[in-house]
Amino acid sequence: MKVNVFKISQRSPDDVSALDELIQTQKLNPMTIAAILGKTEGNGCVNDFTRGFAVQSLKNYLTQQIGSEQSQKIIYIMSGGTEGVLSPHLTIFTREESPLTEPTHKGLVLGRHHTRDFLPEEIGTLTMVKVVAAGVQTAIEDAKLTPKDVHFVQIKCPLVTATEQTEKQDSYTSMAFSRGASALGVAVALGEVSLEQIQSSDICQRYDLYSSVASTSAGSELKNCEILVLGNADSTSAFVIGHSVMHHALDIEAIHAAIQATGQPREQVVNVFAKAEADPTGRVLGCRHTMLDDSDISHTRMARAVVGAVIAAVIQDPMIYVSGGSEHQGRPGGGPIAVIARRSEKSSDLTR
C-alpha cells in the first residue's frame, strides 16, 4: 500500500480551489482519494453547519471529477471550530497499491469503514459501542494492520437533533454521548477495554475506561459513523505516524513524544491530530480554570483554542487538526495526539 498526504488551506468551507489545483496539475489523482479530514470555522456545536457545507462542497466537486459512486466511498470528516490560531484546512489521504518491485519499509497505511445509520435512540448506547467496534475491526483489516500498530482512529459520528431528542438526551448532550460511545468502540476493537467491562451507565461516567488512540467528533451532517484507521505497516509510503497521549492541555512533553515516535525531526511534520477538553476537575496543573463555568462560550471551544495554541507553538504551524470533547479519549483533561511526518531519505524503519 502507498498512502500520500496532502495538506491544503481553505478560504471558506466551500473552497475547493487548492484541491482543484492539485488535481489539474496532476499532483493528485482524484480516483485514489480515500479520506478527507478538515477543520472548518464554525462553532463546533450542534448548529455548526460549516461541516455539512464543506462535505457537500467536496462531494459536489469530486462527483464531477470521479463520479457519484466513487465519491461516496471517500471518508469525509469535518471538525468544526478554529478558535484562536487554528487555521481552516483540509488533509487529503490517497491510497493505491504499489508495484511489487518497489522496496517496502515501515510506513503509513490506512483503513476505512462506513457503519450503518443509527436510530436516534441508539446514539450514545452500548449498541453504538458494539457497531463501532465491529467497524473499527473491519477498517483495521482493510489497512492490513495489527492492533498494536494502530496509532490513530478518527471517527465522525452522529448526534440527536432537536426533533429527535428524548427525555434522556438533548441535542448538545447527545454529542458527548455519541463521541464517548464511539471512543469506547475503538477501545473494544483494540483490546484496550473488554466489552464485558462496559455497562450502559458507564458511558460518559467511568472515564477510567478509554482509548489511547481514538479521536471522535459528532455532527448533525450524518447518521452513521465514518471510520478512518491510521497506522504503520510494510508499505511504500513516504509518511509515518506516531502517537502519544496528552495528560493535560499544556502537556508539551506529549507533543514531543508523538513527534519522536515518528522517528523524524520536527521539520518533517506534516500535520498533528489531537483531542482537547476542559479538565473536568476544574483545574490545570493544580490551578483553577473557569472553562466549565462560562455560560457564554462552550468549554469545547476554549479547550480547542488552548491546545491548538500549544501544539502550533511547538511545530510552528497553525494548520493543525484539534477536535474538542475527549470523552473516553485518553485520560480526563487530556487526549490522544498523533503526528504524521514525511520520511527523510536517511530514515530507518520504525520499530513499532
Beta strands in the chain (DSSP E): 2-9, 33-40, 75-80, 89-96, 105-114, 150-158, 214-219, 226-235, 239-246, 269-276, 283-284, 287-288, 321-324, 335-342
Of 216, 215, 266, the residue nearest 245 (C-alpha): 215
- The active-site residue out of 2, 39, 106, 156 is 156
**Catalytic residue check, 39:** no
Which residues are CB-neighbours of 5 under 8 A, at least 6 positions away?
Answer: 91, 92, 93, 108, 239, 270, 271, 340
Estimate to the nearest angstrom the gap between the alpha carbon of 26 and the chain centroid: 27
Distance CA 194, CA 276 (A): 25
Is 156 catalytic? The answer is yes
d(CA 309, CA 42): 18
Q: Check 171, 217, 220, 244 and give the catalytic one.
A: 217
Structural contact between residues 147 and 191, judged by C-beta atoms closer than 8 angstroms: yes
Which three-class secondary structure state does DSSP give residue 84?
coil
Active site members: 156, 217
